[in-house]
């Protein structure tokens, strides 16, 4: 299957997967894992579909050593995971205000990015689009949850300034409550008083971020109310 086009093609290594065990280059089966290779066009842009090659065939296609292929693929997996985490945080924080008024979007945006001069609505739309592209990328497996409908409740322990702990309420609410009480008791022993509340988010890390965003928003509103200038026209920011 080594067509001349493949032989000449340039690839970028998207990562390594273990659910695909057949090399699409030579047809070898029962591989422990395969390397996801994305073809690049002559300008270096990703073009077309990912192919899954055994490490040896990937090394041949890239003209690399197998060690370099393995190391590059493992790094790519970690970076993919980090981008997934980022994307979940973005969707958890900004997904709920996607269809909010410009005024509400601007409040949230400015509370988190006080020095931003870009349009809040456009910035939020751009971030959400990037985040969805990331979580629906299937090079390394099926699409991950990425919609507000897929949010799950999380309990957040808040000490008045920062999040101390987050726990997924489901699937075992009793276990979650027990965990929360244990952490709360430990913190109390260290004289840290916390309050628990519920946040809807894609994962625990995102719930923490959402809680901080809510706190930033509350602070921003309180500050502006105190200064009494909260009367501007948000259309200026569009």
| 124 forms part of the interface with Zn ion (CB under 5 A) | no
CA nearest 95: which of 129, 141, 138, 70?
129
| 38 forms part of the interface with Zn ion (CB under 5 A) | no
# of chain residues touching Zn ion (CB under 5 A): 6
**Burial class of residue 35 in the structure, from the number of CB atoms within 10 Å of its CB (0-12 exposed, 13-18 middle, 19+ buried):** buried
Q: 199 is written with which tokens?
A: 């946040």
Nearer to Zn ion, 16 or 202 (CB): 16
In degrees rounded to 5, what are phi and psi of residue 52?
Answer: -110, 115
Q: How far is the CB of 138 from Zn ion (least distance, A)?
A: 21
d(CA 146, CA 132): 6
| 106 forms part of the interface with Zn ion (CB under 5 A) | no
Q: How far is the CB of 137 from Zn ion (least distance, A)?
A: 24
Q: Please list every residue from 217 through 236 that binds Zn ion, using CB under 5 A.
A: none
- 35 Cβ neighbours under 8 A, 6+ residues apart: 13, 15, 16, 52, 53, 54, 55, 58, 69, 73
Q: How far is the CB of 121 from Zn ion (least distance, A)?
A: 48
Q: How far is the CB of 77 from Zn ion (least distance, A)?
A: 20
| 23 forms part of the interface with Zn ion (CB under 5 A) | yes
Q: How far is the CB of 55 from Zn ion (least distance, A)?
A: 9
- Among 1, 26, 143, 230, which residue interacts with Zn ion (rule: CB under 5 A)? 26
Nearer to Zn ion, 1 or 193 (CB): 1
Cis (ω within 30 of 0) for the bond into 26? no
d(CA 72, CA 76): 6
Q: How far is the CB of 141 from Zn ion (least distance, A)?
A: 21
Nearer to Zn ion, 24 or 137 (CB): 24
Nearer to Zn ion, 37 or 57 (CB): 57
Q: How far is the CB of 9 from Zn ion (least distance, A)?
A: 15
| 127 forms part of the interface with Zn ion (CB under 5 A) | no
* Terminal Cα-to-Cα distance of the chain (whole angstroms): 52
Q: Please list every residue from 50 through 89 that binds Zn ion, using CB under 5 A.
A: 54, 57
- Among 16, 20, 25, 93, which residue interacts with Zn ion (rule: CB under 5 A)? 25
Nearer to Zn ion, 14 or 165 (CB): 14
The answer to whether 180 touches 157, Cβ cutoff 8 Å, is yes
In degrees rounded to 5, what are phi and psi of residue 105?
Answer: -60, -40
- H or E element in which residue 153 lies: strand 152-158
Which residues lie near Zn ion (CB under 5 A)? 23, 25-26, 28, 54, 57
């Amino acid at each position: 299957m080594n067509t001349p086009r493949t032989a000449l093609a340039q690839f970028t290594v998207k990562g390594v997967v273990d659910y695909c065990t057949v090399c699409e280059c030579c047809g070898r089966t029962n591989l422990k894992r395969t390397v996801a290779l994305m073809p690049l066009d002559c300008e270096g842009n990703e073009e077309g579909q990912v192919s899954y090659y055994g490490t040896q065939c990937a090394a041949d296609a890239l003209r690399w050593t197998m060690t370099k292929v393995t190391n590059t693929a493992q790094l790519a997996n970690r970076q993919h995971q980090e981008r997934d985490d980022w994307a979940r945080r973005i969707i958890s924080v900004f997904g709920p205000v996607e269809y909010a008024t410009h005024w509400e979007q601007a409040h949230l945006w400015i509370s988190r990015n006080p020095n931003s001069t870009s349009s809040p609505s456009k910035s939020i739309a751009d971030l959400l689009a990037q985040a969805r592209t990331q979580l629906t990328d299937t090079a390394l497996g099926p699409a991950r949850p990425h919609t507000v409908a897929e949010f799950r409740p999380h309990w957040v322990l808040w000490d008045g300034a920062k999040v101390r702990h987050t726990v997924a309420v489901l699937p075992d609410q009793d276990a979650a409550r027990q965990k929360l009480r244990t952490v709360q008791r430990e913190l109390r022993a260290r004289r840290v008083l916390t309050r628990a509340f519920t946040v809807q988010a894609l994962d625990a890390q995102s719930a923490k971020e959402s809680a901080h965003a809510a706190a930033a928003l509350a602070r921003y509103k309180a500050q502006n109310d105190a200064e009494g200038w909260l009367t501007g026209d948000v259309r200026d920011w569009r």
